[in-house]
A and B are shown apart, each in its own frame.
Chain A
């Protein structure tokens, strides 16, 4: 019985599960691509306007795509009792939960990173800011999964938690959106972005260290009223 074995087993299991239900991975990714491709059509032939708002469009779409995928994080485990078994395991729940969040990010966040450069070019973003866009997505999307997990853990016991989930989680997403969007815009105009990147790194490390604890506590709380 070792903690690291349990941790990697959780990640492995969730990745296998994701592979067997491909539509769940495809859904947020498709949403991300669709929203971004619709903008040029809606705005019309104004390449400069599009170029100016490209970072915002990409980041807002990434944020909404992340929200869309959140519910699947704990729902099926909650419904079939796997979550009960994880909580009853002698390992700290927070570590197992971190494994689940990492697997969730690999499945829903990483694909966004892969298609983002293509979409950025599509929106006419200058090449020199592509690197910064990718870096902000790399630092920012895991934070979306980590913070989102707290919201999901709190609402998973409710039958219709979707609305409350958005209200809980969106305000906490705002700092990431501000700093990430700002960094890409600054990079567009050739300014230094060290400050924003440093803050994003700080937010990521903080979320990585602190988020699993409230997630574990909230899951135990959600479990308490679930009689079936």
Chain B
């Protein structure tokens, strides 16, 4: 999957202004392979805005973002990142398998095959089930399965633990540690306190 050679993801002097309200300014971070960046802050403090800026959906009002020392647009950023946001990007009229095949068609294939990824998130045997019949937690795990089967280094996750039960949260934490151990990196927002003992976790508090 990821080459052990290090990737880096940096932001410098980032600021975001929404409706004359400064959400954050002069925000800087440097993330290298194997690290996690946890964004904390109360509701409305700009966590999601920052994630969307990092994904390139929004331009930052100031500042630069660099992937492996290149500007996002000139780098392989989009081939090496995966995003799971509030919206899970899953079609409820399609089956689990059809959804994952579509995701695979849109990016490189990764470390795990579709079957292995489904086993990892405990959704074995659900291949031909329509997504609209899955529970909220199962949908969440399905959208996280996408991270496993597409080739990527950086995961950007917006509240990945929403609607997951205790086992689900523990499962995702295991997957996150594995990803970091393999040289991946993760940027996430979360209300839960994450429990990743072996991983170097940086925190940014936005409030």
Give 1 or 0 for each of B67-91: 1 = CB within 8 Å of chain A CB: 0000000001011011101111111
CA distance A87 to B55 in the complex (A): 10
Is B89 a contact partner of A85 (Cβ separation < 8 A)? Answer: yes
Distance in Å from the Cβ of B173 to the closest Cβ of chain A?
Answer: 23
Rounded to whole Å, the gap between the CB of A145 and the closest CB of chain B is: 21
A224 touches B106 (CB 8 A): no
Instruction: Let me know if B200 is at the binding interface, CB within 8 A.
Output: no
The contact of A9 among B49, B57, B101, by CB within 8 Å, is: B101
User: Which 4 residue pairs spanning A and B have beta carbons closest together?
Assistant: A81-B87, A9-B105, A81-B89, A90-B79
A224 to B16, CA, bound (A): 13
Contact A6 B106, beta carbon cutoff 8 Å: yes
Q: Are B91 and A1 in contact (CB under 8 A)?
A: no
Q: What is the total of A-B residue contacts with beta carbons within 8 Å?
A: 81
Answer whether residue A91 sits at the interface, using C-beta atoms and an 8 A cutoff. Answer: yes
A84 and B57 form a contact (CB under 8 A):
yes
Q: How far is the CA of A123 from the CA of B52 in the complex (A)?
A: 54
When distances are taken between beta carbons in the complex, the residues of chain A under 8 Å from B49 are 227
List chain B residues, Cβ under 8 A from A91: 106
Is A88 a contact partner of B94 (Cβ separation < 8 A)?
A: no
Nearest Cβ distance between residue A73 and chain B, in whole angstroms?
15
Residues of A within 8 A of B58 (CB): 224
The listed residue (A1, A10, A80, A228) touching B88 by CB distance below 8 A is A80
Query: Can you pick out 28 interface pairs between chain A and chain B where the beta carbons lie within 8 Å of each other?
Result: A1-B107, A1-B108, A1-B109, A5-B105, A10-B105, A13-B98, A16-B98, A20-B93, A76-B91, A80-B89, A80-B90, A80-B92, A81-B88, A81-B89, A82-B89, A82-B91, A84-B83, A85-B103, A87-B57, A88-B78, A88-B82, A89-B106, A89-B107, A90-B78, A96-B106, A224-B57, A227-B49, A227-B52
A228 to B162, CA, bound (A): 14
Tally chain A residues at the interface, Cβ within 8 Å.
30
The answer to whether B45 has its CB under 8 Å from any CB of chain A is no
A223 interface residue per 8 A CB criterion:
yes
CB of B98, distance to nearest CB on chain A (Å): 7
A17 to B92, CA, bound (A): 10
Q: Are A9 and B93 in contact (CB under 8 A)?
A: no
Asked whether any CB of chain B lies closer than 8 Å to the CB of A201, the reply is no
Interfacial chain A residues near B57, Cβ < 8 Å: 84, 87, 220, 223-224, 226
Q: How many residues of B contact A (CB 8 A)?
A: 33
A1-23 interface with B by 8 A CB criterion: 1, 5-6, 9-10, 13, 16-17, 20-21
Complex CA distance for A81 and B82, rounded to whole angstroms: 13
Choose from A10, A17, A85, A90 the contact partner of B93 (Cβ within 8 Å).
A17
Chain B positions within 8 Å of A170 at CB level: none
Contacts of A82 in B (CB 8 A): 89-91
Whether B55 lies near A88 (C-beta < 8 A) is yes
**Which residues 186-228 of A have a CB within 8 angstroms of B?**
220, 223-224, 226-228
**In the assembly, what is the distance between CA of A84 and CA of B91, in Å?**
13
User: How far is A84 from B103 in the complex, measured between Cα atoms in Å?
Assistant: 12
B87 contacts A84, CB within 8 Å? yes
From B59, B87, B94, residue with most partner A Cβ within 10 Å? B87
**Measured between C-beta atoms, what is the minimum distance from A173 to chain B in Å?**
30
Question: CB-defined interface of A94-130 with B at 8 Å, one 1/0 digit per residue?
Answer: 0010000000000000000000000000000000000
Check if A21 sits within 8 Å of B93, measured CB to CB.
yes
